[in-house]
Amino acid sequence: MATITLEGNAINTNGDLPSVGSTAPEFSLTKNDLSDVGLADFAGKRKIINIVPSLDTGICATSTEKFNQALNDLDNVVVLVVSADLPFASARFCEAQNIDKAVTLSMIRGKKFAKDYGQLIVDGPLAGLSARAVLVLDADNTVLHAEQVPEIVQEPDYDAALAVLK
């Protein structure tokens, strides 16, 4: 269990992020077109998994935009943005914010992803959503970088995440 904060107030997740050097767990999440995908669908690509509570918040939107922009300078990388948002809301967000490279994925069909990745918030006002975290995986899904953002209203360390891909 990880303890993080929401505006300085302690809240807890159900576990911990996969550690650097471990293999990321397979998952099934829903794309904006309502199809389900997993890590296997991105085989051979390096991955940034940007885990956010909801795209409908400023920090989540900013991190999605920054990682989407970073794809202009990276080869063989996909950004997967995971949230509890409905695919319809994610599609509207992507259109409104010109998110044209990052892939938004929804936990609409279950919280298994958040549980398996140790990111399910188990108490406090955001219980049931995922905490904010960033994982970077190589093409074989080995974790190269893992950041559990300690304060939900804080942005992740973009430079540290992107540095392992350059």
User: Domain ranges in the chain?
Assistant: 3-163
Would you state the pLDDT for residue 128? 94
In this structure, are residues 82 and 130 in contact, taking their beta carbons and an 8 Å threshold? yes
What would the mean pLDDT of 43-59 be, rounded to a whole number? 93
Helix/strand/coil for 61: helix
Left (φ > 0), alpha (ψ -120 to 50) or beta: where does 135 sit?
A: beta
Would you state the pLDDT for residue 73? 87
2 or 22, which is more confident: 22
69 or 116, which is more confident: 116
d(CA 135, CA 23): 11
* In this structure, CATH architecture of domain 3-163: 3-Layer(aba) Sandwich (3.40)
Would you state the pLDDT for residue 166? 84
- Band of pLDDT at residue 68, cut at 50, 70 and 90: confident
- Band of pLDDT at residue 45, cut at 50, 70 and 90: very high
pLDDT tens digit sequence for 71-129: 888 889 999 999 999 999 999 999 998 889 999 999 999 889 999 999 999 999 999 99
Catalytic residues: 60
